[in-house]
Structure 1
């Protein structure tokens, strides 16, 4: 279910619809792999500062301005490592990759971020499984 961390340049190891986990200093960033080196994820709306410290500060110091973006996996700042992490498959059946891609196309734009109830992992899980709340 969860693979070992690899360089995002080794994206051939990822399959359409996979949850991709990027380790960060104080948290993990999550995205969904759409194929052809493309991901969908929640990220700051401004492209100037995607640093871990800026993102971490915004998560704990007020409501950040974040957006859902579809972009190359190489655009994920500081993404020296990434891994497939579909461990939730044991509890929920993932949507078909074509459904995931179709849904992803409708979700691009501003995102109502909340560290505890609507963060990048919540978003990625919703895209892959179609559920907002996980049952374990």
Structure 2
């Protein structure tokens, strides 16, 4: 994309310009270039003022009306060329904040989840506290306050990068407490927390040069026989799309894709890659 674009919103599946619904060229072994995204700043709260909000002075949000359902999560994997960089299976259990505290160790990555909301990531730094990016500022708060009643889980193993030593992870997080607005190098809480643990520049804004190639693939897995692949130029772009899918849920993603593939009742197996 040679043009300089200041801000583009998400393109839904109905707007994805793929020439083959599977994203594959039948005469080639590799996936075709489907779509590349340029996203506006994705700092949790900017995506929707009613989502992922946290204020130490506000009362906790009640999520009982929409309890977290792990079966509504979309199984997915991220590949850099042929190497798997991230993989999530469905059905991973989440725990109450109090139960989660008993499982945490300094340097752990935590993910707080609720139906219909973007996941919120944080780094556990010890003494019942986490460091996280929220509302364009990196903050240090108690885990139970940050959870706002959401269930949480430890997600150290989702990314397949080698983790830094725990003391380095904690230092990475604490060194940036208080950073805000133009001082930030991350688009959302997941990118910040993952950078703290793995130290890879790919999680930062502009950490990778977009040169027209799309080496990242996001594989959306609906069942053993149904999946779909999208391609991206950078890791942060993939994360933005993955988070959006988490927010709208598996059924909505399937419906978007079905609409794109001009399916009226259900997603046909011959429209998906295995």
Give the structure with the higher percent strand.
1
Distance in 1 of aligned mates of 2:149 and 2:193? 17
1:76 paired to 2:76: no
Could you tell me the TM-score, scaled by structure 2's length?
0.37
Higher normalized helix content (fraction of residues): 1
The aligned residue for residue 109 of structure 2 is 19
> Aligned ranges for residues 1-136 of structure 1 at < 5 Å?
4-10=93-99, 11-24=101-114, 25-44=116-135, 66-89=136-159, 91-112=160-181, 118-133=187-202
- For 1:112 and 1:133, the matched residues in 2 are separated by 20
The alignment yields a C-alpha RMSD, in angstroms, of 2.5
TM-score w.r.t. length of structure 1: 0.70
Q: Secondary structure at the match of 1:32?
A: strand
Which 5+ residue runs of structure 1 have no aligned equivalent? 45-65
- Residue by residue over 1:107-130, the C-alpha shift from the partner in whole angstroms, topping out at 9 and shown as x without a partner, is 0113348xxx62110000001111
User: SS of 1:82's equivalent?
Assistant: strand
Q: Hey, what's the Cα distance between the residues in 2 that align with 1:99 and 1:76?
A: 22
Q: Which consecutive residues of structure 2, in runs of 5 or more, have no partner in the other structure? A: 1-86, 204-215, 218-274
SS of residue in 2 equivalent to 1:127: helix
Q: Which structure is richer in relative contact order (CA contacts within 8 A, separation 6 or more)?
A: 1
Q: State the secondary structure of the residue aligned to 1:39.
A: strand
**CA offsets, 1:53-112, max 9 Å, x none?**
xxxxxxxxxxxxx210111101115233100012345x2111111111222221011334
Partner of 1:58: none
